[in-house]
Amino acid sequence: MDISLKTTDGEIGETGVGDGLRVKIIGVGGAGTNTVDRLQFGEQGQARLAAINTDAQALASSPIPEKLMIGRSVTRGLSTGGEAELGRKAAENDVSSILNMVSGMDLVFILVGLGGGTGSGAAPVVARQARDQGALVVAFATLPFSLEGGRRLEIAEAALGELRLVCDAVIPLPNDLLLQQAEENATVLDAFTQADDWIGRGVGSICAMLFQTGLINVDFATLKKAFCVQGGKTLFGLGRGEGGDFVEKALQDLALCPLLHTPEYARKADRLLVNIIGGTDLGIGHVNRVMAAVTERFGSKADTVLGAVIDDNLQSTVEICVIGTTDVGGGRYVRQPVKSYAAKPKPPESPQGRPIDKAQGGPAAPKLDLEETSAPDNRESDYEPLPELDSVRPHDGAQGRSTETRMPQVHQSKLKKTEANDGTDQEEFLFVSEEEQRGYFDKTDRNLFDGEDLDVPTYLRRGIRVTL
């Protein structure tokens, strides 16, 4: 079985890979806290759960063990009433408690319903603290229903942008879209439940890869590779199949996953994280089939981290979770795993991740070796020192866990490059154009009318359920 698994960087069949790893799942704001409340945890329960809110009452009713109330002097224990600015202030006022909550963590998940004041304002602050403490930070953020109004959407989008700046990966989940997945007569509450379920499966998949005994476990360093470029678009898809032909069914389900078809998401990824959860009858042949199909569709084998775990309670069932990161729209800096802890000259950093001019990415850009782009630790010699940008974030180097460096021009999404190589139209097999994966109207002005963005499909905004 090793032949086909060589490319995955996965460790095979060892238990206890994730021992000693510190993972925390933090819900921020009302929605985020609710989501954490409802997380169904099985064996990946080694992650600690926490909640942060301005709203004392909401916090009190949550069963989560670790709770932090922020902004007592700002909102006096009440909600921010939708003011993101207050949410940010509240978090900044209690920044030392937040720091305590995230310190020492290897991996922090931030769950948040964007659109409200607390979540939208505080989540970026929490993420920044966690990142500055050296944790890998992955955020799952729901976006409000269109019918909640233009203002909430605006707040949410601003917060999403901020989160992308400070997280290793941000996975946005538009509520409009989640409602599509619910039953015919679903209510808004059902969509929230759906959101919670999806987030739970995403978080659970990553934890399972790290902690659960499986066919293929993934160690933390490998996992981190999947998140080495920050701020780019992500891809998130789930598929599930049961009964005869369960693998094919799961692949079909995955292909129809609505999240994979929104402009919010990339269609192809530069790096993929694929987790497969199966029953006791899941064989390595099944895993190979999934791997082949998924990499063909979403990315390349060489840049895929694969995990496969067995759930004793399952039979003839497989669940596939795909998380991808891209350099598209991001690529401000790259997090470099440091090979040795010995002191060495630190590569330069960018203060706020100075964006690299996308205009450079045209077809004329030099062609690059794809392998090298995805393995930043081989690339050190390419980083040109930029002394004036030095040491803005003292925590990083000191911790010796990771460093960041301004990305040289060399690091461009290969998604674009492949497209430039030949413009044939076997699009299912080639990387799609950047335009397509960034959403067709992405580069155009927002198309606002009465607070709604007309570029977003009407059926989604109106909550019309489309059944395929």
Partner 1 sequence: MSQSKIVAAVEIGTSKTVVLVGEIVNGRSLSVIGMGQSSSSGVKKGEILDFKAASNSTHAAIMGAEKSAGVNIDAVYLAQTGRHLEGFNNKGSVTVSAADGHVSGSDIERAQREGKSKELPQDRVYIHHIKNEVLLDGRKVDEPYHMKGERLDIGYWSIHGDERRVRDHIHVINGFGLPVEDMIVSSIASGSMVVGDEEKKAGALVLDIGCGATDWVLYQDGYIARTGVVAVGGDHLTNDLALGLRVNRRNADKLKLQCGKAILEKDDLTEKVWMVGDHMIGDRHIPKKAMVQIIEARLDELFRIVKKQIGPRCTAQNLPGGIILTGGTSQIEGICELAAKVFGAEARLGVNPRIVSEDLRGPEFSTVLGLLHYALTGQHAEEFNTGAHERGILRKVVKLIAG
Ligand X SMILES: Nc1nc2c(ncn2[C@@H]2O[C@H](COP(=O)(O)OP(=O)(O)OP(=O)(O)O)[C@@H](O)[C@H]2O)c(=O)[nH]1
> Where on the chain is the footprint of partner 1 (CB under 8 A)?
255-256, 258, 260-263, 425, 427-428, 432, 436, 440-441, 443-445, 447, 449-450, 454-455, 457-460, 462, 464, 466-468
The two structure tokens encoding residue 39: 């997380």
Q: Please tell me whether residue 278 binds ligand X under the rule CB under 6 A.
A: no
φ and ψ at 107, to 5 degrees? -140, 125
The partner in contact with residue 119, picked from partner 1, Mg ion, ligand X, none with C-beta cut-offs of 5 to 8 angstroms by kind, is ligand X
Closest separation between CB of residue 23 and Mg ion, Å?
25
Distance CA 27, CA 113 (A): 9
Closest separation between CB of residue 219 and ligand X, Å?
31
Distance CA 88, CA 341 (A): 35
Q: In 10 A of CB 378, how many CB atoms?
A: 12
Angle, CA of 66, 67 and 71, to the nearest 5° = 150
- If the CB atoms of residues 152 and 401 are measured against ligand X, the closer one turns out to be 152
Q: Give residue 427's region: left, alpha or beta (phi > 0; psi -120 to 50).
A: alpha
Q: Please tell me whether residue 118 binds ligand X under the rule CB under 6 A.
A: yes
Stretch that binds ligand X, among 111-119, 205-213, 329-337, 385-393 (CB under 6 A): 111-119
Binds ligand X by CB under 6 A, chosen from 44, 146, 175, 373: 175
Q: In 10 A of CB 48, how many CB atoms?
A: 16
Binds ligand X by CB under 6 A, chosen from 27, 71, 144, 330: 144
DSSP code, position 214: E
Distance CA 44, CA 211 (A): 6
Q: Please tell me whether residue 27 binds ligand X under the rule CB under 6 A.
A: no
Closest separation between CB of residue 67 and Mg ion, Å?
14
Burial of 314 by CB count in 10 Å (0-12 exposed, 13-18 middle, 19+ buried)?
middle
Distance CA 349, CA 389 (A): 6
The partner in contact with residue 330, picked from partner 1, ligand X, Mg ion, none with C-beta cut-offs of 5 to 8 angstroms by kind, is none
Closest separation between CB of residue 115 and ligand X, Å?
3
Q: Please tell me whether residue 34 binds ligand X under the rule CB under 6 A.
A: yes
The two structure tokens encoding residue 131: 């990142």
Sign of the CA dihedral running 178, 182, 185, 187:
negative
The partner in contact with residue 27, picked from Mg ion, partner 1, ligand X, none with C-beta cut-offs of 5 to 8 angstroms by kind, is none
- In this structure, which amino acid lies at residue 348? P
Stretch that binds ligand X, among 5-13, 108-116, 304-312, 359-367 (CB under 6 A): 108-116
- If the CB atoms of residues 87 and 237 are measured against Mg ion, the closer one turns out to be 87
Binds Mg ion by CB under 5 A, chosen from 27, 30, 202, 263: 30
- If the CB atoms of residues 196 and 404 are measured against ligand X, the closer one turns out to be 196
Q: In 10 A of CB 279, how many CB atoms?
A: 17
The partner in contact with residue 278, picked from Mg ion, ligand X, partner 1, none with C-beta cut-offs of 5 to 8 angstroms by kind, is none
Closest separation between CB of residue 461 and ligand X, Å?
14
Q: Please tell me whether residue 31 binds ligand X under the rule CB under 6 A.
A: yes
Distance CA 141, CA 120 (A): 9
Q: Give residue 158's region: left, alpha or beta (phi > 0; psi -120 to 50).
A: alpha
Closest separation between CB of residue 363 and partner 1, Å?
12
Q: Please tell me whether residue 142 binds ligand X under the rule CB under 6 A.
A: yes
Question: Which 42-61 positions form the footprint of ligand X (CB under 6 A)?
Answer: 54-55
Those residues whose C-beta lies under 8 Å from the C-beta of residue 381, and which sit 6 or more positions away, are none
Name the one residue in this structure whose structure tokens are 């402009």.
263
Q: Given the rule CB under 6 A, which residues bind ligand X? A: 29-31, 34-35, 54-55, 79-82, 87, 113, 115-119, 142, 144-145, 148, 152, 175, 192, 195-196
Q: Given the rule CB under 5 A, which residues bind Mg ion? A: 30, 55, 79
